[in-house]
Amino acid sequence: QVQLVESGGGLVQAGGSLRLSCEASGLTFSAAAMGWFRQAPGKERECVAGISRGGGSVYYSGSVKGRFTISRDNAKNTVYLQMNSLKPEDTAVYYCGARGSALSGRFYYREVDYNVWGQGTQITVSS
């Protein structure tokens, strides 16, 4: 059974930092591209960061570029999202996604390109 489990969410003041983790099981992690998405109330789910299966190619949305860093540890089957300089508009439920059998060097940023999702973790940034 393929499973993604996120952790690290919570409440933080504006300007603060958080680190999300997503541990995968039941899939060949080193063959999967990974991504972080978020969904705020009343808004569509959006990709904030994506990373290729080897970690060499990354994507960031314009709203988080320079503040968030995605990384992965294939030995631990885990992808991370380091979030710095958090803003109230970063408040959302954050989801980890996986695309199995991804092309080498390719990241993905469309929701439709992912076939496994975590349960989500809430991030609340207070002003």
Give 88-127 pLDDT, tens digit per residue.
999 999 999 999 989 999 999 999 999 999 999 999 999 9
- Is residue 85 a contact partner of residue 65, using CB atoms and an 8 Å limit? no
- 40-56 pLDDT, tens digit each: 999 999 999 999 999 99
Instruction: Please report the pLDDT score of residue 101 as a whole number.
Output: 85
